[in-house]
Chains A and B, each alone.
Chain A
Amino acid sequence: MKIFTIKILKVSIVLVAIVAFNYLVDPFLLLNPYKQGRLTNLLVNGKDIAFKAGYNQCLVKSNYLEAQKTPMDIIVLGSSRSNQIGQELFKGATFYNASLYGGRLKDMLGIWQLIEEADIRTETVILEVNPHILKFRHTRNRKWLTKASNSLLMQLNFEDLTEKDPFMERSKLKLQGLFSIQYGLRSIKKNQYEVWTKNDTISDRVLFSDGSERALQIPDIEKAFSTRYRHRLPGLIKNGEYQMQLEAAEVFTSFVEYLQSKGKKVVLFIPPLYPDIYKNDEIRRIHQSFQDYLEQLRNTFRLEVIGGLDPSAFHLNTNDFSDHIHFQRNTMRKVLNEKVESTMDESK
């Protein structure tokens, strides 16, 4: 038995080395609470931080919100389609973009709950809304927001939609990070930074976590409506990717009502679709129910709406998009231009 144990230990040295390396570099801030806290402090103190692509944005924003106490005039909740709504569009107002990559309704609820728990005072809430947001099915499991989103769902009387806190899944994710070589190697890949600043998502010059300040290299993003996505589109439509979920729409309505009852000004943001996608007959047919819902929502709560599904309404063409979903940085100004001033004025 002793010899067997020694043999196992010998082979385990490799595993110990992998674990030690991953813990030290921890590119997505999964494993090292001290590092998480240090970076959160930097953000709270107004510094900008660059993270490796694929970092756990959800965890970072959760940590940040828990530590943040400054009032914000405007807060944005949504998905990566809202990431380009930046501070510069709201000059003079304090602003925080709390949107998340792959974010959906429950993420918005979770983030808002954290904002309330952190007692961050705010005047205006910009809510992204589209059929992708109005869905419970998740491509990414938000293992860090379940507790918070459950809490708000309970307040909104949707107990049946709460989920078990995925403690085990979170722990597994951390263990996976500890034992996977790919995890640690992320930290030495070049040009894969995503940057999050105190108020915004992207900045030109940033303070890196190692303390150096240098120009950011944003990787080239695939332009135009790729052949691959065009091929995938029928499958995505079939899988309901462009379909809103009625139950989610009910929750969203309650959320809007809840925010208004708390005295917040709610603005809906509808990101325009990529031109080729908007022209797709099947998608237009599917989106009709969303348009009807939106109309009803707007009339019931007298909401201000910025954006819209039709890209031609804002004179957008394919060059205004960085891929088949997301805008270029300066495109957001075209979409928001007319509305920003009024939103900002009222926020003040």
Chain B
Amino acid sequence: MLFASFEFALFIPIVFILYWKVFGKNKHQQNVVLLITSYFFYGWWDWRFLILIFISTLTDYIVGIRLDQTRPDAIRKKWLWLSLIVNLGLLGFFKYYNFFIESTLALLDQLGVHSNVNTLNIILPIGISFYTFQTLAYTIDVYRGKIPAERKALVYFTYVSFFPQLLAGPIERASRLMPQFKKKRTFDLKMASDGMRQILWGLFCKIVIADTIGHQIDGLFARPESYSSILLIQGILFFAIQVYADFSGYSHIAIGVAKLFGIELMDNFLYPFFSKNLSEFWQRWHISLSTWFRDYVYVPLGGNRSGQFRYKLAIMVTFIISGLWHGASWNMVIWGGLNGLLFLVFFKFSSGSNEGTSVPKLKELFQMALTFLAFALPLVFFRSGSLDLTITYCNQIFSFSGGLGFINAPVTIIVGLMLSFEWIQKGKKHALDISEFPPLVRYSVYVSLILLISWNLQIDNPFIYFQF
């Protein structure tokens, strides 16, 4: 079930009424409603996916308790390994099996060894990259003694499967989210209203910005040889905005929906395009994943405490794994590697934050533009899907052919409006946090956004991040 779909528009009010009105008496009933509806939500794609999430959740539930009960470190390590093997095994098999087989065969072929291993026709279970990371984080935190194991199965299963964040995050930490399921939620008008505003903003980002840009640039990436260099460059820049609008839109809807049920999820995007350097950018972009990689990959690799070489190595490995997490292809590995390199080269290009400034200075604009470019340009690997297409795309850009050509003006204007609005609201948790505005202005903004969404309504455009 997509967030921007009619099924979801029907699903939400039903769950809302069940949760608050029919079974809202105590926390157990509320959790039961959330658990059942979350499994229904996930099974809507394909009921077989439920088996995987159940295995992953059950494994970590048991492992967590065992880790808590066991003292000898050697045995605890074994339990941790069990969790790692099950979760990364599921992820590896469903997401990376074909990639590794194909890559190995290609390598052997280059070495003159011809073997015949078949790839499998595997469907990637939606959301698997997200919930396996969430359960892994829980187990590692229990192993490290940062949090106690959760003994109530209902609480733990609800934490893993909570539908607003199940398919594409935010990848929540148990220490933040799980305590919220342990107490009865009471309806909070302010929170629910803010949730609705955030949902509206998310739908606007997804339907009006991301989908519209997608229609404009899909052709450029499918047949780059048919378009001019200037148009192709714009294609990359607009794709950066599309990914942002698509994924931050999804996150806003997820966070907004969670608020309707009295649950506060972590912020996932905090105006990353206003960052003045790449370090700041990655702290504002897909925050739940960036911090996950920081805590469970970068720091264990030594972080910045073990000398320059180890630090650079840790950065590169983290970014490359992050690239691979986004997709099982060499393009994604290169994309991750490029981001790592750029991060090392441009790290701390500038310092300070522009949160307080209303009009950016020329220098700040330049820094933001440079940061944006450093993020956007490698995306050609991300979007092209194959090395061949990436090379064709780049060759066509550097052929300097085809004269002028521009992405259509209304798209550019609407993107400009979105970014301007975000700039004005950049101190807030989300751009549509306008509760203190006069009612007339507030309702005018709501109506305008609804009209824009209605104007651009194209159902069934899946979110880009679902493929991860």
Contact = CB atoms under 8 A, between A and B. Distances in A.
B223 A232 contact: yes
Contacts of A11: 443, 446-447, 450
B443 A18 contact: no
B459 interface: yes
Range, interface on chain B: 20 to 34
A3 B189 contact: yes
Interface residues of chain A: helix, strand, loop or mixed (majority):
helix
Nearest to A233: B226
Contact of A4 (B189, B227, B451): B189
B226 A8 contact: no
A232 B193 contact: no
A182 B20 CA distance: 36
Interface in A219-263: 231-232, 234-235, 238
Interface residues of A, number: 23
B223 A234 contact: yes
A181 B207 CA distance: 14
Interface stretch (A95-103, A151-159, A172-180): A172-180
B446 A179 contact: no
A14 B447 contact: yes
B402 to A, nearest CB: 9
A174 to B, nearest CB: 10
Given A1-B187, A172-B460, A235 B222 contact: yes
B457 A231 contact: no
Interface string A165-203: 000000110011001111000000000000000000000
A18 B447 CA distance: 11
Interface in B402-458: 443, 446-447, 450-451, 454-455, 457-458
Contacts of B196: 7-8
B225 interface: yes
Contacts of A238: 223
A234 B455 CA distance: 33
B192 interface: yes
A302 interface: no
Contact of B193 (A4, A175, A179, A235): A4
B455 A182 contact: yes
Given A3-B189, A176-B458, 16 more contacts: A4-B187, A4-B189, A8-B196, A11-B446, A11-B450, A15-B454, A172-B459, A172-B460, A176-B6, A179-B454, A179-B457, A180-B455, A231-B226, A231-B227, A235-B223, A235-B225
Interface of A: 1, 3-4, 7-8, 10-11, 14-15, 18, 171-172, 175-176, 179-182, 231-232, 234-235, 238
